[in-house]
A and B are shown apart, each in its own frame.
Chain A
Amino acid sequence: MRAPLSWLREYVDLPADTTGRDVQAKLIDAGLEVERVEQLGSDLTGPLVVGKVLTIEELEGFRKPIRFCTVDVGMANGTGEPQEIVCGARNFTVGDKVVVVLPGAVLPGDFAIAARKTYGKVSHGMICSGEELGMGDDGSHGIIVLPPEYEPGTDAIELLQLRDEVLDIAVTPDRGYCLSMRGIAREVATAYGLPLRDPALLDVPAPNPHGHPVQVSDPLGCDRFTARTVTGLDPEARSPIWLQRRLQKAGMRPVSLAVDVTNYVMLELGQPLHAYDRSRLKGPIGVRRAERGEKLTTLDGTKRVLDAEDLVITDDNGPIGLAGVMGGANTEIAGPEEGGSTEVVIEAAHFDPVSIARTARRHKLSSEASKRFERGVDPAATSAAAQRTVDLLVLLAGGTPEAGVTEFAAPSAPRTIAMPAGHPDRVAGVDYGRETVVRRLQQVGCDVYGQDELIVTVPSWRPDLTDPNDLAEEVIRLEGYENLPATLPQPPAGRGLTERQRLHRRVGRALAGAGYTEALNYPFIGDWALDHLGLEADDPRRLTVRLANPLSEAEPSLRTTLLPGLFAALRRNDSRGEHDLALFETGLVFHPTGDERPALRLPVDRRPTDQEIAELDAALPAQPRRAAVVLAGARERTGWWGQGRPATWADAVEAGRIVAREAGVELIVRQDQQAPFHPGRCAALLAMADGQEVLVGNAGELHPRVVKAFGLPERSCAMEIDLDRLERAAGGVVEAPRISTFPVATQDVALVVDASVPAAEVEAALRSGAGELLESLRLFDVFTGEQLGEGKKSLAYALRFRAADRTLTAEEASAARESAVATAVERTGAVLRGA
């Protein structure tokens, strides 16, 4: 809502030196979001005067038509001689009154005016358009042609009210009354402690049966309807400058007198109005729900098929308007070019906010009217608004009001709220006292009765006031939020983060500590990404949660894997010149459970039952938390210290171990074949949970096709692991080991096995055979070569033996080693090398 300060002054006697910024500050404190104060005309200096066009000479030979004019500007040019001006506009003739800017003036946008040569003539100034003067769109697409009554030489800055301050207010949905000058003026008056001249306090004639007939058949949808008729309108009458300027400053475009007047009254009182050309109405006006499939062409020229829930205004020919949203083209007021309308029926009605909101949304049609009805219009203002419209049409268009006054009002009672007088104090933590509470509520427009228990009747224009807390807010905001004290409550002693939350933090720190940089990617993916990953048709990762209104049709689903997002980040970094990359992300992935039913709309007037909550949760997809990494380029760089090395599958698997270690889980690594990985360089990552091996993730080098499809650096590697599953496999409290201080006995073994035998199996066999004396075991070399034979590899292990209670003899250590080797030979077909 845009509120010109000059207009506000009509209702509140603000001190003369009060600026827009002063009012802004006061209104912000009172809870209105005044986003800015526009300084109209602050960058405009005259002379800017009324001129009368004396002669027009059409200049030939230019690419566009150009006129050389002489204009009478009175004594404004100091000589009284006609001013010579070149002009490109064509919407004026000799004798018209126009707005002339003279040399020495500065127009908005730091546009200094001087006499200058153009099109072979010297132009001493300019004939102005509304746009050049910063007036906003007047719909003329040309220069301003003034009504004939103004004298040449008259100051046009004053005449066109070009200097003003306009408060631009973002009105929150609860404060519909502030979508009017009346509402904003009320807040200004309260903020300054000044009286308000309420523009809705008008004498209105009593209703009688002689007005235009109205039949409301849906009083829930429409609880008020006032109809008034004005005849004898001068079809030539135009909106006066003051009215046009107010509309423009408020952000609306002047159209025709009747339309301008209804818009003006809407801005003033907040009551949307509609004017019908009476000659086009057939029979009584009706208000009812539309019949399904009924059609209506609205004023914007769109033909609409109506829904059975839409509230419509009708006459004998059918719908003539979408109630509270937009009128129909068939009963539209005729514009001046069509000869104008001479008699109009004015509608001022009140409609159900929910019904209007639904209709506006259904037809994707948000209008100045619907915006107000949705947020709540004062139902008691219909007759005043109709009266104000009648008055203005009489005043400005020479109309005559008909005596008939139609009023429909569904029975209603004022709304009251019971509230303990101390309630605002308890909400705020401040002792306001009863007297202050009552005074503030009265300023808002409430009637207040009672002592300790207040009975508060809320004003008709505040449908948002329904609960004691709403009233408390009114008191507290008018007393000033800025005056609230600050105190600290004492929560019960807390326990800090949960184990799960600690784990998530540790995982991030561990990966970052290992050289990975975190990237937080959008979770939106498209099927193309799943294709690029090379997923089989039945891969569960292809089952996605889809959005009804995605930002991009190319990415309408939610991710089932973190990898595509990380790939995009990898590629972006690579293309920007970073080539040695290690990225990680932790976040949710989304898997439909397959049996979601639509989520229930539970009641809000009680706690839902556990059963209801469970059903609501069952409507949601599974949302496990994952961690993933991608690697490309060098893992260790080459430098003065020696050769570096590229990132490999082993780094990816190690990233899995890094994550698992934080959960206290020793990963079991198995050979695997799984998209999107290289079939020979893919590891399954497993963990023991409740005595069962559980797959928690995969790691390895990416399949060359995947690398190509996503445009990644060659040999990129990746790992993805499920943190929720890992958490379930997490070890409990660590039991402290007993540390033996007896000497260690070290023994090495080299075993030759088939190349296909996983090292993990050999290691497991050695461990199992070595028995309790084995303290640790480490693979220190892997060797393949001709001397071993085709398809063989040698694995060299260092075994460390130690007893808790004695120094081991050489014989004991050797026996343990031999037992370890024997088990490995038996289980894996290993041959002891050099034996």
Chain B
Amino acid sequence: MTPIITVSDVALEYATKQGPVRALDGTSAEIHPGEIIGVVGESGSGKSSLGLAIAGLLPPNARWLSGEVLIDGQDVRSLDDAARRRFRRRQCGFIFQNAMSALDPTMRLHKQFRYALNGRGDDGSVAELAASVGLPTDKAVLRRYPHELSGGMAQRAMIAKAIAARPKIVVADEPTASLDAAMRTQVLELLVSLRSDLGLTCVLLSHDLGLVLRYCDRIAVMYSGRVVEYGTPELVLSRPAHPYTNALLRAAPGREAPGQRVQPIPGMQTAVRERSERCAFVDRCQRAEERCATVRPDPRLVDDRQVLCHFAEQEVSSVS
């Protein structure tokens, strides 16, 4: 099967007042049609940048250094303005973390839907769109303004706008972060059902390992602008091959054994300014040896998943 999204060795940085900050430092991933990919990692790990790069939405101060993102074999960066707008309109939807502020506060819901349907939507197709994300279809609800919606409804409306033009890909940036637990499940169930109804490929950026385990086909663990481990969540989360994945699991609440404490990861993720010739995690890694500080690990296939660690075999066997 050919991948629908191919991210190969992408490096990009943002120009800031303090100088360039590298957000992606050789990120690679292949995503197949119809998959839901969970991208996890701390803030600053580069997962948002990856999402924006895939959606062609990088801010003006982003500088592309190397690598490419192919969507359906097409390099998104090579598109001219009109083609890029068409790509955004028809091929790639984006779901924002804070749905309430991503909806225009002065525009009624049905009008926002109509625009999302490229202005061609009549009452029927607007109602159909609302129904497809589980929103009530009666006029009174569709005539509401965003501030008259609950958080869950706003998120559904956001999803409706993102899928209105029947895109092949949806990038969802923490779509459930602002919702309570019950809502979270509902919204993700919705994404999963849309995936099978519309054949969507979904890139889900998330903090929540539990959600990723339940709903995603594959998980990409990011650290310092690299995908350090990439495989099925069952495998990756039960038998991590990268010390960072392991540390992330120990630091996540709700997974500790009785009497055991949540273990925060010591140290800080450091900002990179140029291509790093060492392992990204070396400063915080308990397994680090000299080689880790001098040789940048290449992606290897270990125990059925891709991993960036010189000691992946030892890490896998230590857990199991």
Q: Are A and B part of the same complex? A: no
Residues of A at the B interface (CB closer than 8 Å) are none
